[in-house]
């Protein structure tokens, strides 16, 4: 069978790796076009020093890197290996950074880098001749090393060599590479790509993949697509010979180094050092302003070195590595590569033009892993990695604006090596999205964090006087950031009385039309053909039966449904597959939602509505009025208490809040924030998509098998689920962490071996202990089993509990 005609734009490391991964899967009708000469094209891959540090906060990024290491280790460019596993050593010169290295060690272990370890200063010095503990000279200027994170299989990729080697493999399978040929346009016929127009003519194509690096936005624009990345200058300099490296027989014999506290990294080249620096001002460059291949001084992706910007780097280097004190720089340049608004790549298909794909904002480190994921996605239809954090369609409209993109990308450049707390909100631009309740939240002293542009109250200072009524334990200083004992008081008050939760950041989608019922039936795991008013909790799966989202679907009428979703990827997924007789509309911005939850919720609501509240059963919804405000009321609660999600237009949101607030006053109604919300949902065992479960997991192992109705007719993923054999080999497991509170993404140890990782965690203020959900092998998932969680340099004892911890009989929700 003929395979699709593919054109890859860009023969950098991403384009070359993709050509290899596609052709090895049988897609050989592939043409790779580059404006520059092959393979030193003048793009970012032509000058990258090729350091591969695999550890990343994101699991998928570590997996991309691990695959890249494994693959390039086996590749040769002529006689040269494409990867040298010299190891990676990240150094700490402050206690704060040392703690961060322990946290990073946790990520490394959790994501499968089993060799990772934190070393004593003496061990660091043994690994690298320039790392000295007995720094001579002025002791005030010398940086004292407190420890290091060592990853033995990190190392150096030869980017250009890996381009050539992968291209050669692809060429042997029939892939054609064309250099010196600029893509001028991408031709679209109807809603599909038809070809790529170059200076030499047109290359017909069924699939076009944009691997154009810093030029990506220019190519994407050819099909009307916005690509939120910014090319930024980044300084790299090479030193004169360093005495401590004299006589080096190989290009690099010692670990690559990082000194993140000073925004620096180092690699050897025989007796010289390459020094990379992120501490300088952000230097954004408009993709349209990048020099052409013909006009560039050296190559388009490099700019002239600006030594003043590098001065602090040299000073810090001399403080850290005393052997460089008398060494000067030989050369340097400011090289361009892509930054994104959340530091993740931009992978996947255009939302509008079929056949146009991007693989952008990818480092050398992740190149082969990304290429593999893209090839699987293209050839098999489904990647084997969880790509929700990388999907080019993850953004909402405000995140695509040029001003937002440049501001965020520059900020991410500045913060690239900073210690970022998991709850730390972006600093600017804020505020962006505010719910109609925002003025009242401000009056109540809301402490706002940010999610998807939304200002979200984490807790309310107005509730400070509730704290005395409870015994709220204080977590360790790290977990106590973006935390207040008020969080605990709000959680308790929700369970005892009632609270208002601003749920406006929940993505709301209307699915309407004659085909809506059948369409949702095909797309979800739920039974959709229920009476008007039914609410269904169900899943979106992929063809492999893996979870792509969990949603609620409310039947508002024969052909009308309201979907509660997890973000823009769900909107994209529902819209992309919709037949002509179904409309899918994201109504989030024009509407709002407040949760009124707690045992007194019904007493508060009763005088406000003529709806028979006792007759509106759990998981049912109705249109009604709350006072003067038209609402859709859904009897659903992510915090596990009696009450409703109340939806109305953005115009009347404030009136809704005020109406509820006045009615609730006699009952002690409070406003409660996201901190309490997260604690309560974990006590109730409700999973969060993207954190607790992802495209890596099937519903049964994730504990949401109850939401799969195999008898509801054919749906995406059903065949794969029907074919699975035996009980799950791993499970999302509920752990009791005693007095301790962890944050998520920590390794879980069974003795010395890492057995799994924590997804999300909080203190359970009702159950009175720390709660963590973790992926563990089934043999460790039985209640009573004990494991240990790696938290910084500590081990925290944890015991498996049967779940949910709170109200397993559903008496509160069904009251």
Phi, psi of 410 (to 5 degrees): -65, -40
CA distance readout (Å), 249 to 238, 245, 268, 269, 749:
18, 10, 12, 10, 41
Query: Is residue 234 involved in binding ligand FAD (CB under 6 A)?
Result: yes
Q: Which of 72, 150, 265, 749 is catalytic?
A: 265
Query: Is residue 10 involved in binding ligand FAD (CB under 6 A)?
Result: yes
Query: Is residue 45 involved in binding ligand FAD (CB under 6 A)?
Result: yes
- Check if 265 is active-site: yes
Sign of CA dihedral 90, 95, 97, 100: positive
Query: Is residue 48 involved in binding ligand FAD (CB under 6 A)?
Result: yes
Name every residue whose Cβ is closer than 8 Å to that of residue 289 and which is 6 or more positions away in sequence.
Answer: none
Where in 152-181 is the site for ligand FAD (CB under 6 A)?
Answer: none
299 binds, among ligand FAD, ligand THG, none (CB under 5 to 8 A by kind): none
349 binds, among ligand FAD, ligand THG, none (CB under 5 to 8 A by kind): none
Among 23, 44, 343, 591, binds ligand FAD (CB under 6 A): 44
Query: Do residues 597 and 637 touch, judged by C-beta distance below 8 A?
Result: yes
Among 7, 8, 33, 569, binds ligand FAD (CB under 6 A): 33
At its nearest, how many Å lie between ligand THG and the CB of residue 402?
30
**Cβ proximity to ligand FAD, 211 vs 707, nearer residue:** 211
Q: Which of 154, 158, 550, 586 is catalytic?
A: 550
67 binds, among ligand FAD, ligand THG, none (CB under 5 to 8 A by kind): none
The span from the CA of 143 to the CA of 124, in Å, is 14
| 42: nearest Cα among 275, 285, 330, 292 | 292
Residue nearest to ligand THG as judged by C-beta position? 564
Rounded to a whole number, what is the distance in angstroms from the first to the last CA of the chain? 60
**Cβ proximity to ligand THG, 412 vs 504, nearer residue:** 504
Using alpha carbons only, how large is the chain's radius of gyration in Å?
Answer: 28
DSSP one-letter code for 297: S
Give the number of residues in contact with ligand FAD, rule: CB under 6 A.
39
632 binds, among ligand THG, ligand FAD, none (CB under 5 to 8 A by kind): none
**Cβ proximity to ligand FAD, 33 vs 758, nearer residue:** 33
- Check if 240 is active-site: no
CA distance readout (Å), 195 to 190, 351, 719:
12, 18, 35
Pairing relation of β-strands 446-451 and 264-269?
unpaired
Name every residue whose Cβ is closer than 8 Å to that of residue 189 and which is 6 or more positions away in sequence.
Answer: none
At its nearest, how many Å lie between ligand THG and the CB of residue 687?
6
**Cβ proximity to ligand THG, 259 vs 681, nearer residue:** 681
The span from the CA of 115 to the CA of 51, in Å, is 18
- Check if 689 is active-site: no
At its nearest, how many Å lie between ligand FAD and the CB of residue 646?
47
182 binds, among ligand FAD, ligand THG, none (CB under 5 to 8 A by kind): ligand FAD
Helix or strand or coil: residue 514? Answer: coil
Query: Is residue 35 involved in binding ligand FAD (CB under 6 A)?
Result: yes
The span from the CA of 317 to the CA of 539, in Å, is 52
Q: With contacts defined by CB under 6 A, name the span among 39-47, 484-492, 639-647, 672-680 that binds ligand FAD.
A: 39-47
DSSP letters, 172-183, are HTT-EEE-S--E
Angle, CA 728 vertex, CA 727 and CA 734 arms, to 5°:
120
**Cβ proximity to ligand THG, 430 vs 814, nearer residue:** 814
Binding mask 263-302 for ligand FAD (x = CB under 6 A): -------------x------------------------x-
At its nearest, how many Å lie between ligand THG and the CB of residue 686?
4
501 binds, among ligand THG, ligand FAD, none (CB under 5 to 8 A by kind): none
Q: With contacts defined by CB under 6 A, name the span among 46-54, 164-172, 377-385, 794-802 that binds ligand FAD.
A: 46-54
| 58: nearest Cα among 342, 259, 257, 339 | 342
Name every residue whose Cβ is closer than 8 Å to that of residue 291 and which is 6 or more positions away in sequence.
Answer: 297, 300
The span from the CA of 679 to the CA of 674, in Å, is 9
790 binds, among ligand FAD, ligand THG, none (CB under 5 to 8 A by kind): none
The span from the CA of 207 to the CA of 348, in Å, is 12
Q: With contacts defined by CB under 6 A, name the span among 30-38, 119-127, 382-390, 441-449 that binds ligand FAD.
A: 30-38
Query: Do residues 169 and 117 touch, judged by C-beta distance below 8 A?
Result: no
Which residues form the interface with ligand THG (CB under 6 A)?
Answer: 506, 537, 550-552, 564-566, 619, 634, 636, 638, 645, 686
**Cβ proximity to ligand FAD, 212 vs 535, nearer residue:** 212
Q: Which of 102, 105, 128, 234 is catalytic?
A: 234
Strands (DSSP E) contained in 497-546 are: 499-502, 507-512, 535-541
Angle, CA 66 vertex, CA 61 and CA 71 arms, to 5°:
125
At its nearest, how many Å lie between ligand THG and the CB of residue 566?
5
To the nearest 10 degrees (0 to 180), the angle between helices 159-172 and 367-380 is: 30
**Cβ proximity to ligand THG, 73 vs 532, nearer residue:** 532
Helix (H) or strand (E) holding 663: helix 653-664
Query: Is residue 444 involved in binding ligand FAD (CB under 6 A)?
Result: no
Where in 196-225 is the site for ligand FAD (CB under 6 A)?
Answer: 211-215, 219
Query: Is residue 34 involved in binding ligand FAD (CB under 6 A)?
Result: yes
At its nearest, how many Å lie between ligand THG and the CB of residue 578?
19
**Cβ proximity to ligand THG, 302 vs 524, nearer residue:** 524
DSSP one-letter code for 322: G
537 binds, among ligand THG, ligand FAD, none (CB under 5 to 8 A by kind): ligand THG
Task: Answer whether the bond into residue 431 is a cis peptide, omega within 30°.
Answer: yes
DSSP letters, 746-808, are -EEEETTEEEEEEEEEEEETTTTEEEEEEEEEGGG-STT-EEEEEETTEEEEEEEE-S-SS-T
Where in 353-382 is the site for ligand FAD (CB under 6 A)?
Answer: 362-365
Q: With contacts defined by CB under 6 A, name the span among 44-52, 140-148, 557-565, 608-616 that binds ligand FAD.
A: 44-52
**Cβ proximity to ligand FAD, 196 vs 721, nearer residue:** 196
CB atoms within 10 A of CB 464: 14
Name every residue whose Cβ is closer than 8 Å to that of residue 481 and which is 6 or more positions away in sequence.
Answer: 421, 423, 424
Helix or strand or coil: residue 101? Answer: helix
At its nearest, how many Å lie between ligand THG and the CB of residue 606?
22
Where in 315-354 is the site for ligand FAD (CB under 6 A)?
Answer: 335-337
Helices (H), 175-231: 216-221
Residues that bind ligand FAD (CB under 6 A): 9-15, 33-36, 41-45, 48-51, 182-183, 211-215, 219, 234, 236, 276, 301, 335-337, 362-365
Which residues belong to the active site? 234, 265, 550
């Amino acid at each position: 069978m003929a395979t699709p005609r593919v054109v890859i734009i860009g023969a950098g490391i991403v384009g070359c790796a993709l050509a290899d991964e596609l052709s090895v899967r049988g897609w050989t009708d592939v043409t790779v076009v580059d404006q520059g000469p092959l393979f030193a094209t003048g793009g970012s891959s032509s000058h990258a020093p090729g350091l591969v540090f695999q550890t990343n906060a994101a699991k998928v990024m570590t997996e991309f890197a691990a695959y890249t290491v494994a693959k390039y280790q086996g590749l040769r460019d002529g006689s040269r290996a494409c990867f040298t596993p010299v190891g990676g050593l990240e150094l700490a010169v402050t206690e704060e950074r040392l703690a961060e290295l322990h946290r990073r060690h946790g990520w490394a272990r959790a994501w499968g880098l089993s060799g990772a370890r934190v070393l004593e200063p003496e061990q660091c010095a043994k690994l690298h001749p320039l790392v000295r503990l007995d720094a001579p000279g002025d002791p005030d200027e010398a940086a004292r090393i407190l420890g290091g994170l060592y990853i033995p299989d990190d190392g150096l990729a030869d980017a250009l060599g890996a381009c050539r080697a992968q291209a050669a493999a692809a060429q042997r399978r029939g892939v054609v590479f064309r250099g010196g040929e600029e893509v001028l346009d991408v031709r679209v016929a109807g809603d599909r790509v038809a070809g790529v127009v170059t200076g030499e003519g047109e290359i017909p194509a069924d699939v076009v993949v944009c691997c154009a690096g810093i030029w990506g936005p220019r190519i994407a624009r050819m099909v009307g697509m916005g690509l939120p990345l910014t090319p930024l200058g980044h300084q790299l300099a090479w030193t004169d010979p360093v005495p401590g490296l004299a006589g080096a027989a190989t290009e690099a014999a010692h670990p690559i180094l990082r000194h993140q506290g000073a925004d620096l990294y180092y690699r050897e080249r025989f007796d010289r050092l390459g020094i990379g620096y992120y501490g300088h001002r952000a230097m954004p460059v408009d993709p349209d302003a990048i020099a052409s291949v013909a006009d560039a001084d050296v190559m388009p992706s490099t700019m002239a070195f600006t030594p003043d910007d590098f001065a602090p780097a040299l000073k810090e280097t001399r403080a850290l590595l005393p052997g460089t004190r008398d060494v000067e720089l030989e050369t340097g340049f400011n090289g361009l590569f892509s930054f994104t608004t959340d530091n993740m790549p931009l992978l996947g298909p255009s939302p509008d033009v079929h056949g146009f794909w991007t693989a952008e904002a990818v480092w050398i480190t992740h190149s082969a892993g990304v290429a593999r994921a893209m090839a699987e996605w293209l050839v098999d239809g489904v990647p084997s990695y969880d790509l929700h954090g990388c999907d080019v369609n993850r953004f909402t409209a405000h995140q695509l604006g040029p001003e937002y993109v440049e501001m965020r990308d520059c900020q991410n450049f500045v913060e690239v090596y900073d210690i970022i707390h998991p709850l730390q909100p972006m600093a600017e631009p804020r505020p962006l999205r505010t719910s109609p309740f925002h003025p009242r939240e401000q009056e109540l002293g809301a402490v706002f964090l940010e999610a998807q542009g939304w200002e979200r109250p984490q807790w309310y200072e107005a509730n400070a006087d509730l704290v005395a009524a409870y015994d709220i334990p204080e977590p360790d200083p790290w977990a106590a950031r973006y935390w207040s004992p008020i969080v605990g008081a709000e959680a308790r008050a929700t369970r005892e009385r009632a609270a208002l939760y601003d749920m406006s950041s929940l993505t709301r989608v209307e699915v309407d039309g004659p085909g809506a019922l059948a369409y949702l039936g095909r797309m979800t795991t739920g039974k959709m053909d229920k009476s008007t008013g039914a609410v269904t909790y169900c899943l979106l799966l992929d063809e492999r039966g893996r979870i792509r989202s969990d949603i609620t679907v409310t039947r508002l009428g024969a052909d009308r449904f309201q979907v509660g979703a997890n973000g823009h990827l769900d909107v994209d997924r529902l819209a992309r597959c919709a037949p002509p007789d179904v409309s899918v509309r994201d109504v989030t911005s024009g509407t709002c939602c407040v949760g009124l939850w707690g045992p007194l919720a019904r007493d508060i609501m009763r005088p406000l509505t003529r709806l028979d509240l006792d007759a509106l059963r759990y998981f049912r919804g109705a249109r009604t009025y709350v006072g003067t405000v038209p609402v859709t009321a859904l009897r659903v609660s992510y915090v596990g208490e009696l009450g409703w999600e109340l939806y109305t237009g953005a115009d009347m949101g404030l009136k809704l809040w005020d109406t509820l607030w006045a009615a609730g006053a006699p009952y002690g109604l409070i406003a409660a924030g996201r901190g309490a919300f997260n604690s309560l949902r974990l006590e109730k065992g409700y999973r969060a998509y993207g954190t607790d479960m992802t495209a890596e997991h099937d519903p049964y192992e994730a504990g949401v098998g109850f939401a799969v109705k195999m008898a509801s007719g054919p749906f995406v993923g059903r065949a794969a689920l029907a074919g699975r054999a035996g009980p799950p080999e791993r499970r999302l497991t509920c752990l009791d962490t005693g007095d301790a509170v962890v944050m998520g993404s920590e390794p879980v140890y069974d003795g010395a071996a890492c057995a799994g990782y924590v997804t999300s965690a909080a203190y359970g203020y009702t159950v009175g202990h720390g709660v963590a959900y973790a992926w563990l092998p089934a043999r460790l998932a039985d209640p009573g089993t004990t494991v240990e969680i790696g938290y910084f340099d500590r081990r925290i004892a944890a015991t498996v509990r049967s779940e949910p911890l709170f109200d397993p009989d559903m008496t509160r929700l069904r009251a």
